């Protein structure tokens, strides 16, 4: 295990390499990134960085000198390809790297609109990388009519920024409601009211037929035959795991790069972690798109590369900033059968139960409820739902 090569210089890759060094690994470490930037935070891209409130250098997880100080060979702007699992080599840039252990932390790529739907018109943007935001910032500040395709976190965060900058904003969501995959109907209701109060036109159960314009986008035609004027379009229709390099090497994929509970892929000496990895959890196979998962799984896989042999058990948490509202989520709200609402207006919290088991908590401008819920979930405890329905219950009392 004298040379560990990590493909993907994002949060998971940076954490994995740091944990290897902190864990006493004194062999070679090479961290390969296709982007020219050192590993950076992605959540602020669609919020503070796009608004100009966060300087570029503050996005970096570590300064460039940190990698040299740790004897981590940071290779940026170099695409990796052609893993040979028998020879234990991978092509990087114009050469070939030999590895003893390989880790895939390749992350996600934004889904785009097809060309026939107008996806290649000038003025159409996605939000995933620093380069995406650098290209978007000036046009967004000049835009008058912004169309956001997709009512998930990225789309709604982008809508909030565009509205803050003074544009007229329309959000279209093909599903029956915004945040359909990631939050309950009560949470979606809160966020819908927030955006509409700011003047955003949110249209649900609306499908995009195509974007219109010659060379540059000028509007959109919807499936119901109505048209929308737009001089800028932000596409937020989801993210896909980067699995191509694994698939080309015949490494198994299943909703992502398939790993076992320790983070091992189907190929010997090859591991995976972070957004790109699908792993077993509670009898199913899941993939979590979050900073927390990238950090925790990157660290767990590094420790397992060093021989810890400890299964990765996620304790998920997420957040989203829109206008002056913070949505914080602890746990996974899959399989819930009821939602208990505490509060009227803001702050408000939503507690997800499956039977008598607490599985997630949403806090909207309610950090107290979020922190209590997070601690309960981490301890594997489920308070009596009747206690939560009583507005007189002190949340802190649930921890004792």
The reported pLDDT for the residue numbered 377 is: 95
How many CA atoms, within 13 angstroms, populate the side-chain half-sphere of residue 190? 23
What mean pLDDT comes out for the span 252-261?
A: 98
State how beta strands 28-33 and 232-235 pair: unpaired
User: In order of start, what are the domains of the chain with their CATH numbers?
Assistant: 3-109+239-305 (3.50.50.60), 112-235 (3.50.50.60), 324-399 (3.30.390.30)
CA torsion angle 304 309 311 315 (round to 10): -60
Q: What is the largest CA-CA distance in the chain?
A: 66
Which tens digits make up the pLDDT trace of 74-103? 999 999 999 999 999 999 988 999 999 999
What mean pLDDT comes out for the span 263-271?
A: 98
**What is the band of 1 on the pLDDT scale with cuts at 50, 70, 90?**
low
**What is the band of 54 on the pLDDT scale with cuts at 50, 70, 90?**
very high
Distance CA 95, CA 88 (A): 14
CA angle 53, 55, 56 (to 5 degrees): 135
Which tens digits make up the pLDDT trace of 92-147? 988 999 999 999 999 999 999 999 999 999 999 999 999 999 999 999 999 999 99
**What is the band of 324 on the pLDDT scale with cuts at 50, 70, 90?**
very high
DSSP 46-89: GTHHHHT-S-HHHHBSS-HHHHHHTTEEEEES--EEEEETTTTE
Long-range contacts at 185-191 (CB < 8 A, ≥ 24 apart)? 185/339, 186/339, 186/341, 186/350, 187/327, 187/350, 187/362, 187/364, 190/346, 190/348, 190/364, 191/156, 191/322, 191/325, 191/327, 191/364
The reported pLDDT for the residue numbered 334 is: 83
321 has a pLDDT exceeding 90: yes
How many CA atoms, within 13 angstroms, populate the side-chain half-sphere of residue 193? 10
Helix segments in 54-198, DSSP class H: 56-59, 64-69, 130-142, 153-164, 185-197
The reported pLDDT for the residue numbered 236 is: 96
Closest CA to 11 of 3, 19, 1: 19
The reported pLDDT for the residue numbered 282 is: 85
Check residue 198 and report its DSSP letter. T
The reported pLDDT for the residue numbered 395 is: 94
CA angle 95, 99, 105 (to 5 degrees): 90
303 has a pLDDT exceeding 80: yes
**What is the band of 380 on the pLDDT scale with cuts at 50, 70, 90?**
very high
Assigned token pair, 22: 């902190």
Higher pLDDT, 283 or 255: 255
Distance CA 14, CA 21 (A): 11
Distance CA 203, CA 176 (A): 9
Distance CA 13, CA 11 (A): 6
Please state, as a whole number, how many other Cβ atoms lie within 10 Å of the Cβ of residue 116: 8
Assigned token pair, 86: 């028998």
Please state, as a whole number, how many other Cβ atoms lie within 10 Å of the Cβ of residue 309: 9
63 has a pLDDT exceeding 90: yes
């Amino acid at each position: 295990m004298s040379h560990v090569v990590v493909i993907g210089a994002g949060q998971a890759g940076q954490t994995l390499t740091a944990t290897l060094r902190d864990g006493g690994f004194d062999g070679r470490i090479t961290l390969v990134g296709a982007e020219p930037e050192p590993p950076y935070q992605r959540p602020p891209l669609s919020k503070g960085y796009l608004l100009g409130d966060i300087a570029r250098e503050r996005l970096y997880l570590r300064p460039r000198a940190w990698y040299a100080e740790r004897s981590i060979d940071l290779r940026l702007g170099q695409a990796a390809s052609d893993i040979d699992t028998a020879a234990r080599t991978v092509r990087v840039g114009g050469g070939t790297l030999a590895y003893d252990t390989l880790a895939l932390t390749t992350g996600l790529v934004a889904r785009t609109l097809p060309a026939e739907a107008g996806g290649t018109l000038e003025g159409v943007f996605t939000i995933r990388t620093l380069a995406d935001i650098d290209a978007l910032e000036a046009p967004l500040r000049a835009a008058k009519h912004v169309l956001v395709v997709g009512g998930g976190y990225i789309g709604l965060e982008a809508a909030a920024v565009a509205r803050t900058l003074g544009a007229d904003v329309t959000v279209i969501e093909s599903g029956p409601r915004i945040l359909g995959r990631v939050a309950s109907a009560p949470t979606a209701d809160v966020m819908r009211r927030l955006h509409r109060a700011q003047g955003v036109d949110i249209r649900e159960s609306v499908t995009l037929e195509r974007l219109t314009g010659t060379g540059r986008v000028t509007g959109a035609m919807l499936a119901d035959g109505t048209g929308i004027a737009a001089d800028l379009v932000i596409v937020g229709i989801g993210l896909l795991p980067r699995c191509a390099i694994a698939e080309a090497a015949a490494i198994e994929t299943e909703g992502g790069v398939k790993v076992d509970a320790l983070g091992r892929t189907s190929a010997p000496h090859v591991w995976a972690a972070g957004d790109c990895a699908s792993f077993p959890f509670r009898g199913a196979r899941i993939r979590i798109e979050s900073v927390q998962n990238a950090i925790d799984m990157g660290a767990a896989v590094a420790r397992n590369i060093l021989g810890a042999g400890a299964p990765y058990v996620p304790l998920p948490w997420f957040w989203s900033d829109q206008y002056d509202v913070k949505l914080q989520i602890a746990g996974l709200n899959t399989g819930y059968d009821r939602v208990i609402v505490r509060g009227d207006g803001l702050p408000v919290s939503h507690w997800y139960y499956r039977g008598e088991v607490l599985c997630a908590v949403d806090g909207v401008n309610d950090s107290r409820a979020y922190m209590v819920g997070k601690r309960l979930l981490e301890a594997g405890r489920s308070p009596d739902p009747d206690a939560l329905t009583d507005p007189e219950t002190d949340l802190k009392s649930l921890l004792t």
